[in-house]
Structure formats: C-alpha cells, structure tokens
Chain A
Amino acid sequence: MSAGTPRSLPSSGQKPIQDICHPLSAEECALSRSPDVLNPCSAGERDLILPNGTPVDTSSPASSSSLLNRLQLDDDLDGETRDLFVTVDDPKKHVSTMETYITYRVCTKTTRTEFDLPEYSVRRRYQDFDWLRNKLEESQPTHLIPPLPEKFVMKGVVDRFSEEFVETRRKALDKFLKRVADHPVLSFNEHFNAFLSAKDLNKRQGLALLTKMGESVKYVTGGYKLRARPVEFAAMGDYLDVFTQKLGTIDRIAQRIIKEQSEFLMELREYGPVYSSWSSFEEDLHDPLEGVSGCVSNCSSALEELTEDMSEDFLPVLREYVLYIESMKNVLKKRDQVQAEYETKLEAVVFREDKKTLVPSDVEKCQDRVECFNADLKADWDRWQNNKRQDFRQLLTGMADKNIQYYEKCLAAWESLIPLLQDKQDAKGETN
C-alpha cells in the first residue's frame, strides 16, 4: 500500500469524510464533536485506514465503512466506478515428489493507488485462498466474509483432479474473490492486496502465522452472557436458521432429481438400442425404427447434459450459501459476545461509580466496538441480502433455462423424425 497525498474519497462527493455525519448516528454526531473523543471504531488495535492512505479521524463513533457501503451500494449497478477487477482462471496441475496440486491464475486489473502496478498475474492454490479467508475473518471480524468451496473432499469418492471438479472449484474461487473485490471494506484489506500482488505468498503466510495468535485473542471474548439481543439481530438469526433449512431441503430435492434423472437415463440408454435391433430384421419398418432409436439417443445425450449441469453449477452454489450462512451465524455470535462484554462491563462500572460522569475508557471502547459491529453488520447484511437475491434469481433462472434447453433439444429431435416416419407412406400413396 502506498501512502500518497491525501485525496478525497472517490465516491464521497466534495466533503472529506471527517465532516460527514454517519446516517445511523445523527444524534451522537451532534453530541460528541470534541477532540477528546476516543479513537474511532477500529478493527482490533489497528486504526481504520481510508483508501487514500490516511487514518480515519472521524467524530462519529460509528464505522465509516457503513457509510462507504451506503454510498457504494449504488455502484453495484454502475460498473464504471469500479476500480478493481479480479478473475480466477487457467487451472494447472503441479506434480512434485511431495505432492500433487492445482494452481489457478489470479489476474487483477486496478487503478487503485494501494497497488503498485495496474495489473497483476499470480498463481495461487487452494491453500492460499484458505489463508486469505482466515486473515480476512481475523482482521475484519465485524464483516461477513464470503465462503470458500469445501476444503476437504473424500478421496476415492471425488476425483480432485477431474475437469469437472476443478472447474466447479475455479468458479467458486472466482466468485469468492469477486465478492471480496466488490466489498467496500474488505477489498482494501492488506492481506487481500498481498494475495493479489505478491509474487511469493509463502513469506507472508509465515509472518502471518506469528501474528495470528495475537490477533485472534482480541475477538475471542467468551463467557459473557447476553441480556437481550436487539430485535433486528434476532430477526437476522431467525431468518438464517429458516433459510439454512430451506436451502438444505432444496439441496436434497435437487440431488434426488439428479438421481432419478440418472436412472431414467440408464433406462433410455437401453431403450433406444432395442429399436435398432428390431430394425435389423424389418424391411419397410427399418428406417422408421432406426429413426426412433436415433431420436432416443439424442434425448439421452440432452438429458445427460442437463444432469451434469445441475451437478456442476446448481448444487455447488447452494452449498456455498450454506457455508456463507454458517460464517454469518458465527459473526452474529461474535456480535452477541461483544455486546455481552460491553453490557457486563457497563454494569460493573455503574455499580461501582454511580456519580461519575466519565466512564472508564475500557467500557467506552466496548461501546464503540458494539456500535461499530452493529453498523458494519447491518450494512453488510443489506448488501448480502441484495447479493443473495441476485444470486438466487440467477441460479433459479439458470435452472429453468437448462431444463428449457433440454426439452428444446428433444423437441427438435422428435419433430425432425416425423417426416421420416411419414415418408414411405406418402410415396406409397403416390404409386397406388
């Protein structure tokens, strides 16, 4: 990351961020404008750093990231303001004496000044993505981190090096990076930057391992009991519970359909050839019977394609969302913990010093954390709901499309057969 001369935020308009009140905390903004106000919301001990390199010095206790979120939600529709593009492609197999693994090419195009170059092309393996996700979770615990495809695959059940598996994984990894790149806070994360640009990620990983312990301690605030979960967060939790259930049901249904279709396919593969063997001892009926056999064969191929598509494109996305929800529930739990800690500490202070006007900094810090967390989470939630809607619209429309294509292929096959079947008849009619 380069610290250039401070420039105004690209999408924040004319005013610098310090002067803009957070929409979620208008009242507090008016109250606490004094320079004595504590550090702004921070992720752990680290200060929030603006894209232009300057630390945030805002009077608002709420996170500026949610402001950025709000301003940038519109950008989803307007691709022109996007300044970071990431793709995952070109899987390659690497064979060494120790192990065999796949790497993917990660291409980046950007105009952001945090990056030294406008373009990058690096190779990463799944491990590296996993590392990145862990770093993001640790360093941005108040945010919803997109999920990765499943790490472990049962050997013998799934071929880790088959084209289909690798392609499914590539798509998921691509989606993961795109979601991070589109996130107004996560995309500026230094680990993300390193992931995209560093030639050799290993050194980073080594360093990261050392600091990992220190960081994770910050947010593992266990043992505090939560009084009352705010309604909106309770609603989120409930929604996620039901949604997970429904997704699970849909997954099971889709799997069952695939199974039934596969078994139907098996029968079709036996059915078609019977017409062929029949045609071999018929004269007049030879061509019609062969025609039917060919037709059934075409339908079989179309069905096979449909089943494969559903396996490769539909199911993985469903499962991804289940993972997404799991990590979201964890974030909600963390939020609960942060709130619980604050409430407990606040209670302790209240009972100890009832007449003092200044609350100890420790409690104030907790309060900040709660409010930051809540704001980040709310903004991310809205963003997530929006993305979810788009993703599922796309997913289900895709499913409908695939089925339509299947039927269209079959229709074409049978329609082209009709003239063949009627052919001899007309000829016979003429000669009679």
Chain B
Amino acid sequence: GQFLGGLGFVMVEKGTSLLKMMEISVAEAEKRTGKNAVNMQETYTVYLIETRPVDAASEGTNPVPDSLWRRYSEFELLRNYLLVTYPFSVVPPLPEKRAEFVWHKLSADNMDPDFVERRRVGLENFLLRVASHPDLSSDKIFYSFLTEENGWKETVFETGFQAKADSRLKALNATFRVKNPDKRFAEMKHYGDELQSVISQLLRVRARAADRLYGVYKVHGNYGRVFSEWSAIEKEMGDGLQSAGHHMDAYAASVDDILEEEEHYADQLKEYLFYADALRAVCRKHELTQYELEMAAQDLTSKKQQREELATGTIRTFSLKGMTSKLFGQETPEQREAKLKMLETQIEEGEELVKERNAECEEFVKSAWVDIERFKEQKDHDLREALISYAIMQISMCKKGIQVWNNAKECFSKM
C-alpha cells in the first residue's frame, strides 16, 4: 500500500482502484473571469470536483464532501503527466477540447451551456476511468489533483515530467523504421487507426442524419398551423382538424428530446474515438522502445566489427577514419592500442545498454500488453452497452411516433 503522508491517510493497494475507497464526481460548472498569463481579461469555466470516502455513506453519517474547483487546462495537465509517467498504459481520454461533429442546432461554442454540461459529464467520466485503472488510480499526483486545490500545479512540475514530455513528443512525431516490429503491436496500432477512422465517419454521418431528422419533425409543425387555419372555415370537420393539428405540434416538439439523448450516444462513441488515439500512442511508444533497442544493438555490432578490423588489420566496413589512415599513412602500434582500448570500453558500455534496453523493452511489452487486454475487454463491454442503449433510444422514439400518429388518426377519423 501507499501511505500518502501529509495528504491524508489513504491506503490504496497497487492494482486496486481508488474508486473502491472514494466517491468522485464533477458536480457543477461555473463561469469565472480573471486575468490570464498575458494580463488580459478572460472568461473561463471551472468544474467542481467532489470527493467523499466510500464508507462515510454506509456509516450513516453522510458528511459534506470535500471539493475543489479545476479548469479544463488543469485536467489536460494531469493527463499529460499520466501519459508521460505511464507510457505503457492506455490513458483514458478527456472530453473534446472543441465541439466537433456538430449538427446545426448544436452549438460549437465552448461557453454554450449544453456544451459545458456535456463536458462536465465527460470530465467526471475521465476521473472515474482513471480512478478505476489498476495502475493509474494509485498515482499520488492524481490523488492530489482530487484533494489539493492549491499548489497542485507546482507539485506536478516538480516531478520533472515535462522533460520527458518533450522527448516523448519528439518520439511520437518522428518517423523511424523498426526492423523487427512486434506483430501484436503492429496489429494493435492498425486496429487503432481503423477504429479512429470508422468512428470519425460514423459521427460525421450521424450528425448529418440528425440534422435531417430535425428537419422532418419540425416541418410537421407547419401542419399544426394550417390545420388550425383550415378548421376555422369548416363546420363538422373543424374540431377533428384542430385537435389533429395539436398532435402535429407535439410531434414536431418531440424531436428535441430525441436528439439530446442521441447526443449522449455520440459522446460515448467520441470517448472511444479518443481512446483509439491513446491506444496508438502506446503502440508508438513500444515502437520507439524497440527502435532504441535496435539502434543500441546496431551500434554495438558496428563497434565489435571495428574492433575486429583493428585487431586483424582488415577493413571490412568503410569508415572515414580508415580511409584517412590509408591516405595519410598507417597508425602507430601505440595509437592502435589506444583505439582498441577505447573500443573495448565502448563495447562494454554498449552491451550494458543493450541489456538495459532489452529489459526495458520486455518490461514495456509485458505491462503494455496487460493493459491493452484490459482495454479490449473494457471497450467490448462499453460499446456493446452503448449499442444497447442506442437501440433502446430508437425503440422509445418509434413508440412515441406511433402514439402521436394514432392520436392524430383518431382526430382525423372524427372529422
């Protein structure tokens, strides 16, 4: 267990989740204004994180939860820290920074209350995911993010993760080729690519379809008005027309709730769109690790070859030094002796490095693959649940439609 001295007594075994000990929620969102880094006024949103020990509720005391406010940028900082510190973990994603895949009624404005609300839910989801992750949940920085309002940022920077972050960023962006790629990771990376592509497409088409569906429902509202106007010039038909018109209005209005629910489904898909990215990041990191191992091994091999040439006097590999020595004359035995000695040291160091890197690689592969398997199961479960709730949504929509049209039909039949 870990004793988080000074911050409270929380025993979190590695491998168990923080969620078993603590209730976490992002309860509210509020607008704030303040001066930013360049001393300009800005408006931003803060989110209230509430935490409460799990057994408190069962004891019946139900104390007021601890709480603190955090901005989206602090969540980003936390996630970046986790990415760097746990490169073998598929780190849960944050809700989108900017609204994408919007259909016309949905605002792309970050300050829009609906967007803020959906973001609040997304941030809570993020915290719950991290808190239930076998490795991430026991992280100290994560714990203090939840409990220590002031000075948290400094604590994060003190870990020095930023230096690692820079090199990691470079690594992820660099193009390099691995000679012996691990088949499983290559497949996983390919899967991540495909998943990202297909979910993007799905979200795009779904947004367009939502737009169209909105149009279909809303135009029916016009029937309401015209039936009302028409009923004014009719005697026997008037009542039936008028009431049918009201049902058409109700039909038109019902689409707002329907699409709001569907947006929740879209958010579930989006989470896995971003998860795909996290998965690919792990695979990329593995590639880098593999690449560094191969580089070290390659370097060692070339050094060994140099030693051999020096020892036997044969030049097998082209080297500028070799050529210059040919042009400018052979070295003295003393010089050769010195060189050999240097090479020996380098080879010793090289072998150490290869051993190190090899171990690193093996360790990484082992940890990463465990988390990838965990992720796969989680993904299968979550997406299946998402599809079920989507189907239930559709069923509800159909039932509402049948009801409204039956009501209208009754009115028509009384015309």
User: Interface residue tally of chain A, by bracket?
Assistant: 35 or more
- In the bound assembly, the distance between CA atoms of A397 and B415 in angstroms comes to 10
Residue of A nearest to B194 (CB): A281
Is A239 in contact with B209, judged by CB distance below 8 angstroms? Answer: no
Which B residues lie within 8 Å of A277 (CB)? 198
Which A residues lie within 8 Å of B391 (CB)? 292, 295, 414, 417-418, 421
B163 at interface by CB-CB < 8 Å: no
Which A residues lie within 8 Å of B216 (CB)? 257, 260-261, 264
Task: Annotate A394-432 by CB proximity to B: 1 below 8 A, 0 otherwise.
Answer: 001100110110111011001101100110110000000
- Smallest distance from the beta carbon of B170 to chain A beta carbons, Å? 31
A263 at interface by CB-CB < 8 Å: yes
- Smallest distance from the beta carbon of A263 to chain B beta carbons, Å? 5
Choose from B205, B380, B392, B395 the contact partner of A271 (Cβ within 8 Å).
B205
A92 at interface by CB-CB < 8 Å: no
Is B384 in contact with A264, judged by CB distance below 8 angstroms? Answer: no
B113 at interface by CB-CB < 8 Å: no
- In the bound assembly, the distance between CA atoms of A401 and B402 in angstroms comes to 9
Which A residues lie within 8 Å of B205 (CB)? 267, 270-271, 274
Interface centre among B226, B240, B391 (most CB of A within 10 A): B391
Interface centre among B212, B244, B388, B415 (most CB of A within 10 A): B212
B223 at interface by CB-CB < 8 Å: yes
Interface centre among A250, A281, A288, A396 (most CB of B within 10 A): A396
- In the bound assembly, the distance between CA atoms of A250 and B380 in angstroms comes to 48
- In the bound assembly, the distance between CA atoms of A411 and B396 in angstroms comes to 9
A218 at interface by CB-CB < 8 Å: no
Choose from B226, B240, B405 the contact partner of A250 (Cβ within 8 Å).
B226
Is A285 in contact with B380, judged by CB distance below 8 angstroms? Answer: yes
Is B380 in contact with A284, judged by CB distance below 8 angstroms? Answer: yes
Choose from B198, B219, B223 the contact partner of A274 (Cβ within 8 Å).
B198
Task: Annotate A97-141 by CB proximity to B: 1 below 8 A, 0 otherwise.
Answer: 000000000000000000000000000000000000000000000
Is A407 in contact with B405, judged by CB distance below 8 angstroms? Answer: yes
Which of chain B's residues 364-415 have a Cβ closer than 8 Å to chain A? 380, 383-384, 387-388, 390-392, 394-395, 398-399, 401-402, 405-406, 408-409, 412-413, 415
B230 at interface by CB-CB < 8 Å: yes
Task: Annotate B112-150 by CB proximity to A: 1 below 8 A, 0 otherwise.
Answer: 000000000000000000000000000000000000000
Is B233 in contact with A242, judged by CB distance below 8 angstroms? Answer: yes
Which of chain A's residues 246-285 have a Cβ closer than 8 Å to chain B? 246, 249-250, 253, 256-257, 260-261, 263-264, 266-268, 270-271, 274-275, 277-278, 281, 284-285
Q: A250-B223, A281-B194, A407-B399 are in contact. List 19 more A-B contacts (CB 8 A).
A: A246-B226, A246-B233, A249-B229, A260-B216, A264-B216, A267-B208, A268-B209, A271-B202, A271-B205, A271-B209, A284-B380, A389-B237, A389-B415, A393-B240, A404-B405, A407-B401, A411-B395, A411-B398, A421-B391
15 sample A-B contacts, Cβ–Cβ < 8 Å, listed by A number = A250-B226, A261-B216, A264-B213, A267-B212, A271-B205, A274-B201, A277-B198, A285-B380, A288-B387, A407-B401, A410-B394, A414-B391, A414-B395, A418-B388, A418-B395
Q: Which residues in B have some Cβ–Cβ distance to A below 8 Å?
A: 191, 194-195, 198-199, 201-202, 205-206, 208-209, 212-213, 215-216, 219-220, 222-223, 226, 229-230, 233, 236-237, 240, 244, 380, 383-384, 387-388, 390-392, 394-395, 398-399, 401-402, 405-406, 408-409, 412-413, 415
